[in-house]
């Protein structure tokens, strides 16, 4: 099998602009001739379905929940990055590109990551237009805060509910298209198989989870926006129902299974409290803005109450190891450093697997905090890095312009393809979900690889929906 990235030619900053300019278009009066199936209705799926429908394509959206609002995208807390430089602190497209590349351990393809940085500002504008209530400064401008892996403030957020608000915005756009008949919504529908015709994904087989009925649907292209497989760990931050079934079906149909070990570890997870837990809970990484992370310098102090440990006996290990980033070091680096101090026997708690997140200094800096005393947060919080997201698109070397191994099957969700490992790893960088596009191109931006779903060059040779070569639609 030949894996060809098909990265556009030219200088890094011009690759995608040149690729878009040279791509073929689909005329507005021809779009209604094409049908697209979208599997999944989280942020990626809902946005893809709504955007494609707005452009004039016929869309069928399938989700195994009773409503798209049940998607696990709702659990995201922290925010979403964009190189708008509202804080005038030196941010730029290139800085976002470099921070994302470094946060992914330099394993991502630069062309993909640069495109992520380029489109970031437009995605924030699109979210605002959808009604997402991002936090704002007193004067009305959008607010930013700092996050791990960056030395600028570029994260747009909606308190600790960013994922929920983004999902509600995408859900509203999807509902608008459902109401005008451009999107057919199928709930309680689990994808059982991918239909492949001459190497192209041309349909799916689904089961109704309410009555067990099995039906099949045909289309010109299939978008999988079905999330990762973090539940390969017994405990992760995924919901138990996030089962990765659809991408497993794609793998069984010949898609490559790449980098299954590449996992994002979140540094601020609430430690396990008992064997009765079914999942783990995160504290938002934004807490690292104000909190200081430390462990005792001496192993014999680990069982003592934190308030009894003198300042000179505390090891603020991130500030010591990474002074330029401090407590906002990238996620994997922070997680690795926490594991190292626990391995040295300096972890806290009954299990010895945990570190302190201390807000006392932030409370003392704030007049409001001093007035209220901040008693609840003067006791340091315990946290421990844990598995957060399986970001490999298990099953796809997704080419930049041709979908994946099966050309008619772009892939989306909170997991980029094997060309872009690590682009989601720093957090807040899952920017390239589908968004409203200029008329003329059928495309699904489904993760940092930004796969383009467009009319193939050999368009006239491919059977279209309803013609010979398709399974009849159920």
Indicate which residues carry an active-site annotation: 331
382: closest CA among 274, 290, 305? Answer: 305
Under DSSP, the state recorded for 283 is: P
Measured distance CA(271)–CA(107) in Å, rounded: 30
In three-state secondary structure terms, 470 is coil
Dump the DSSP string for 70-128.
GSGGGG--S-EE----TT-SS--HHHHHHHHHHHTTT-S-HHHHHHHHHHHHHHHHHHH
DSSP secondary structure, 304-326, as one string? S-GGGS-GGGEE-HHHHH-TTTG
In sequence order, the β-bridge partners of residue 197 are 200
Sign of CA dihedral 433, 434, 435, 438: positive
Q: What is the DSSP string of 185-231?
A: EE-SEEEEEEEEETTEEEEEEEEETTT--EEEEE-SEEEEE----GG
Cα–Cα distances (Å) from 386 to 166, 234, 237, 329, 460, in that order, read 25, 11, 8, 16, 50
Helix axes 43-55, 162-179, angle to 10 degrees: 30
Nearest to 198 by CA among 366, 27, 409: 409
């Amino acid at each position: 099998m030949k894996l060809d990235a098909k990265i556009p030619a030219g200088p890094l900053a011009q690759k995608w602009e040149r690729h878009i300019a040279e791509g073929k278009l689909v005329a507005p009066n021809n779009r209604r001739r094409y049908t697209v199936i979208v599997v999944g209705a989280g942020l990626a799926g809902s946005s893809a379905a709504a955007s494609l429908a707005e452009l004039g394509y016929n869309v069928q959206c399938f989700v195994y929940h009773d409503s798209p609002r049940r998607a696990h995208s709702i659990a995201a807390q922290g925010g979403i990055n964009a190189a708008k430089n509202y804080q005038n602190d030196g941010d730029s497209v290139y800085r976002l590109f470099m921070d994302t590349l470094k946060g992914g351990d330099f394993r991502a393809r630069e062309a993909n990551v640069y495109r992520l940085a380029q489109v970031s500002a437009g995605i924030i504008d699109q979210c605002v237009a959808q009604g997402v209530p991002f936090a704002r400064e007193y004067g009305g401008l959008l607010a930013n805060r700092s996050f791990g892996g960056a030395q600028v403030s570029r994260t747009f957020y909606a308190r600790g509910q960013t994922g929920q608000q983004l999902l509600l915005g995408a859900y509203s756009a999807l509902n608008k298209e459902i109401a005008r008949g451009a999107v057919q919504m199928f709930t309680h529908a689990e994808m059982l198989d991918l239909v492949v015709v001459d190497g192209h994904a041309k349909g799916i087989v689904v089961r109704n989870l309410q009555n067990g009925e099995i039906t099949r649907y045909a289309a010109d292209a299939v978008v999988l926006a079905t999330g990762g497989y973090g539940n390969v760990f017994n405990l992760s931050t995924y919901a138990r129902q996030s089962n990765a079934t659809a991408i497993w079906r794609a793998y069984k149909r010949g898609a490559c299974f790449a980098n299954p070990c590449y996992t994002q570890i979140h540094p601020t997870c609430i430690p396990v409290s008992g064997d009765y837990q079914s999942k783990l809970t995160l504290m938002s990484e934004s807490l690292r803005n104000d909190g200081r992370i430390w462990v005792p310098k001496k192993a014999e102090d680990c069982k003592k109450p934190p308030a009894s440990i003198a300042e000179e006996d505390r090891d603020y290990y991130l500030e010591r190891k990474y002074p330029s980033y401090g407590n906002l070091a990238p996620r994997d680096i922070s997680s690795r450093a926490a594991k190292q101090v626990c391995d040295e026997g300096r972890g806290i708690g009954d299990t010895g697997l945990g570190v302190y997140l201390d807000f006392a200094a932030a409370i003392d800096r704030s007049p409001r905090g001093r007035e209220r005393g901040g008693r609840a947060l003067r006791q340091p919080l315990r946290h421990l890095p844990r598995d957060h997201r399986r970001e490999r698109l298990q099953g796809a070397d997704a080419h930049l312009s041709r979908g994946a191994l099966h050309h008619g099957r772009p892939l989306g969700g909170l997991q980029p393809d094997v060309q872009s490992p690590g682009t989601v790893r720093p957090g807040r960088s899952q920017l390239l979900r589908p968004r409203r596009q200029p008329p003329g191109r059928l495309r699904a931006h489904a993760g940092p690889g930004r796969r383009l779903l467009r009319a193939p060059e050999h368009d006239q040779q491919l059977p279209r929906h309803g013609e010979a070569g398709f399974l009849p639609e159920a």
